[in-house]
A = this chain, B = another copy of it.
Amino acid sequence: MSEPVEFGVAVIGFGTVGAGVVDLLTKHQDLLTERAGLRPLLRGVGDLDLDRPRGVRVDRSLLTRDVEGLIRRPDVHIVVETVGGTKAARDIVLAALRERKPVVTANKALLAEQGPELFQVARDHGAGIYFEASVAGGVPVIRAVREGLVANRIARIYGILNGTCNYILTRMEEDGATFDAALQAAQQAGYAETDPSLDVDGIDTAHKAVILASLACGRPVPFSAVGVEGIRSVATVDLEYARTLGYSIKLMAVIRNDPGGVSVHVGPCLVPRYHLLGQVRAEYNAVLVRGDAAGDTVYCGRGAGRYPTASAIVSDIMDAARRRQYAEAHPDAFRGEPPKIRADAYDRARWYIRLMLMDRPGMLARAADVFGRHEISLASVVQREGWHDTYVPVLFLTHPAMYGAVRRAVRELARLEGIGGLPVCFRIEDLAGDEVPLSSR
């Protein structure tokens, strides 16, 4: 394999997200190089305040207050803007584009309010603006709309796009909290700013809706076209009522792209509780895209936070580098030696085992004894009444156990006298464990 091409990255804005980008580029440098055949090198981090602790390791020699100098360095090829706001951020984006350097940003306010002007400068200078992180954080929904669904006319987009609001509404719905109490809980959990108005008044959602609506219709939708209502008017009684009617209340961006025109609205919406969007809880975001070929597709995940946002920004960095330094992608996924495979006997999970047992004394004890001898601990046993048959279904839910032991136990159970048919044995996947620690491989 040829040497990977190296390219230089500058991160401007060393706040929560900027620090996440620095950390991810450092820890996953080898992983990114292997996957893309392109090696990102962090050339510098620009900020005015260089002393505040950020909780990530970075070589101090990379830190600088000379943001303009950093952008102009010839060994910087891609500029990441994580300053936020629309003033300094705008200057940084323009400075980078005028240097013909692609810009990666999470700044939805900037794009929603000044997108057409900034993209014009980008076109004039032959550099791109990448903005995957601007909507729904770590969920690659911009890529899905622009590339994955490129063959679809997009008729509708429904988005739960603000984690703060969704967290507040979830607390109100599940705990019966008032808006004020739920807002306070969100602030304590770090999901809401001291001044929460950008979030709870729907402005942040509207910024993201402008970006999605523009992509859906292929024309710039002005921010002024968005009807915006926030969630301050939602009372606990509304959530109760909605629930009894089979609905959840979500702050929703609703984008309609009809032949007669585009409409974009942000406001509290009742959505069916048993629809996927009605199930999106706490700080999660979700986007439903309705295309004329793919039908409905839904994208869900964390809409904010250091690493989810950094994940999206780094994906854009690699995309920008790939477009500059073209190489046909040959995924390692189909090359070289197979990975180390772990035999399924070592799969550790909880298990659902259902037996058909003859309805006579002592059967249950004999079955339970088999589990005990294989050192499988039972979490619960259910045998229902009212089953009028020679054999009754009895089910066992285990505590976490190795599949090898469970398989041996099930084989033994199958041979028990007084058992009907084959035992069934299914895994229980609680899908828990959202947090996986960042590793350098």
Q: For chain A residues 347-375, which have a beta carbon within 8 Å of chain B?
A: 347, 352, 354
A261 to B137, CA, bound (A): 30
B294 touches A335 (CB 8 A): no
CB within 8 Å for A150 and B254 given contacts A215-B331, A215-B333, A301-B296: no
Q: For chain A residues 199-221, which have a beta carbon within 8 Å of chain B?
A: 211, 214-215, 217-221
For A149, A310, A333, which residue has the most chain B Cβ atoms within 10 angstroms? A333
B302 touches A151 (CB 8 A): no
A126 CB → nearest B CB, Å: 6
B330 touches A122 (CB 8 A): yes
**Residue of B with least CB distance to A217:** B339
B214 touches A151 (CB 8 A): no
B254 touches A429 (CB 8 A): yes
CB within 8 Å for A152 and B311 given contacts A116-B335, A437-B292: yes
| Residues in chain B near residue A293, CB distance under 8 A | 20, 24, 28, 138, 307-308, 310-311, 314, 438
| Residues in chain B near residue A120, CB distance under 8 A | 335
| Residues in chain B near residue A268, CB distance under 8 A | 424, 426-427
Q: For chain A residues 390-440, which have a beta carbon within 8 Å of chain B?
A: 393, 395, 397, 422, 424, 426-431, 433-439
A250 to B338, CA, bound (A): 28
B269 touches A294 (CB 8 A): no
B261 touches A339 (CB 8 A): yes
A343 to B261, CA, bound (A): 9
Does A8 have its Cβ within 8 Å of any Cβ on chain B?
no
Q: How many copies does the complex hold?
A: 2
B429 touches A158 (CB 8 A): yes
| Residues in chain B near residue A274, CB distance under 8 A | 279
Does A312 have its Cβ within 8 Å of any Cβ on chain B?
yes
* B-contacting 9-mer, from A46-54, A185-193, A227-235: A227-235
A336 touches B436 (CB 8 A): no
CB within 8 Å for A220 and B318 given contacts A233-B424, A428-B247, A436-B292: no
A202 CB → nearest B CB, Å: 13
**Residue of B with least CB distance to A306:** B293
Does A222 have its Cβ within 8 Å of any Cβ on chain B?
yes
Chain A contact residues, CB within 8 Å of chain B: 20, 24, 28, 31-32, 34-36, 111, 115-116, 118-120, 122-123, 126-128, 132, 137-140, 143-144, 146-153, 155-156, 158, 211, 214-215, 217-222, 225, 227, 233-235, 237-238, 241-242, 245, 247, 249, 252, 254, 256-263, 265, 267-272, 274-277, 279-280, 288, 290-302, 305, 307-308, 310-312, 314-315, 318-319, 323, 326, 328-344, 346-347, 352, 354, 382, 393, 395, 397, 422, 424, 426-431, 433-439, 441
